[in-house]
Amino acid sequence: MGLVARRTFLAGVACALAQPALGRPSAETSRRIAAIGYEAAQSLMTLGLTPVAATNPEGYAEWGGYPVLSATVTDVGLRTEPNLELLQALAPDLILVADGDLWNQDVLARIAPTLTVRIFSNEKSALAAADQGLIELGTRLGRGATARAVVAARSRAMHALAKADVDRRPTFLVTFIDGLHLYVYGDRSLFGEVWTGCGFANAWTRPTNSWGFAIVGIQDLADVPDAWLLHIGRFGGPLKRALAQDPVWAALGFSDPGRVVEIPPVLPFGGAPSAHRFADLLLQFFDGPLGQENGSTRRGSLDISLPFRAPWPIDL
């Protein structure tokens, strides 16, 4: 398949990923819904419903909440301490609460009826629970078709990536906290499930917490000496400089060209919308500028050309 055909296919998948988030006008659009927690805000935006209020919109953006919140959304404080007086003054008809913030649901219920968006479950895989949670929420809000379209689009993207004939060496999926510590996502995390569901190997095999991640030091990445590192989120200048001077980082070989790549931030605990966003970024990950330099490969019966390496290399 030629370059034009390849671009056409990938553009089609990208459109399929993006279109469900736009939603369509309905009676639900006029509802005044407040979102408590980044996950709640992201779920509403993905369903095409802009909340009248949300907790900490600035933090939502920093953590990679997507779609971007409208400037019309009122900031009602932190998820742990929402401004109840302001929230009451806004008179929402419904308050959507992420399942990690249920401790304040009784207080919020005095202002307006509450509804919970389920993100994780101990009884199901992270991805299955996230998909079910978005579909249930979409159904309750009259956006069931949009929710199902989001889940189906991500599934198609994962299937396409699973067929890609690309280098699949083990990769650590991480987000740095500072120059010494980082979140590393295991197979039971949302990112880990999408990654392995695309046929890629997760280099982190040690235990994680119930959310599927662990907080570790750089030295803990030594178990797989030839692994790549995919950083979810942008590196800042101070962090780059700190790592460039770290002997452990250098000894692990992550300062070598091509060993570390980064993608824009994705909300780690954002449920199906975050899985959708991560899959979308992985398509870009494997179809970036380096693909034109490294040549093309075939991926099964789809005959789609993809590069071997990701764009956005971190130059340390």
Last residue of a domain, one of 131, 157, 183: 157
**What's the pLDDT score for residue 102?**
66
- Other residues' Cβ atoms within 10 Å of the Cβ of residue 295: 9
pTM for the full model?
0.81
Mean pLDDT on 150-163: 93
SS3 of residue 22 by DSSP:
helix
Mean pLDDT on 77-96: 95
In a domain, 70, yes or no: yes
CA–CA separation, 259 and 261 (whole Å): 7
pLDDT for residue 19 is more than 80: no
In this structure, the answer to whether residues 98 and 230 fall within a common structural domain is no
What strands, in cross-sheet order, belong to the sheet with 213-217? 213-217, 181-185, 171-176, 228-232, 260-263
**What's the pLDDT score for residue 77?**
96
Q: How many domains does the chain have?
A: 2
- Other residues' Cβ atoms within 10 Å of the Cβ of residue 311: 16
In a domain, 192, yes or no: yes
C-alpha distances in Å from residue 122, one per residue of 16, 92, 118, 128, 210 = 30, 31, 12, 11, 8
In this structure, the answer to whether residues 233 and 296 fall within a common structural domain is yes
**What's the pLDDT score for residue 304?**
29
Q: Give the contacts of 16 (CB within 8 A, at least 6 positions apart).
A: 153, 156, 157
In this structure, the answer to whether residues 117 and 63 fall within a common structural domain is yes
In this structure, the answer to whether residues 27 and 114 fall within a common structural domain is yes
**What's the pLDDT score for residue 30?**
56
Last residue of a domain, one of 157, 185, 214: 157
Lowest mean pLDDT among 12-16, 228-232, 241-245: 12-16
In a domain, 310, yes or no: no
In this structure, the answer to whether residues 198 and 253 fall within a common structural domain is yes
Mean pLDDT on 205-222: 94
Mean pLDDT on 225-253: 88
8 Å CB contact between 183 and 215: yes
Mean pLDDT on 149-168: 91
In a domain, 275, yes or no: yes
In this structure, the answer to whether residues 111 and 86 fall within a common structural domain is yes
Residue 60, domain extent? 17-157
Model confidence at 235, pLDDT cuts 50, 70, 90, reads confident
Mean pLDDT on 124-141: 94
**What's the pLDDT score for residue 167?**
83
In a domain, 309, yes or no: no
pLDDT for residue 73 is more than 70: yes
In this structure, the answer to whether residues 123 and 211 fall within a common structural domain is no
Please return the burial class of 120, using the count of CB atoms within 10 Å of its CB with bins 0-12, 13-18 and 19+.
buried
In this structure, the answer to whether residues 182 and 230 fall within a common structural domain is yes
Strand pairing class (181-185; 171-176): antiparallel
In this structure, the answer to whether residues 191 and 284 fall within a common structural domain is yes
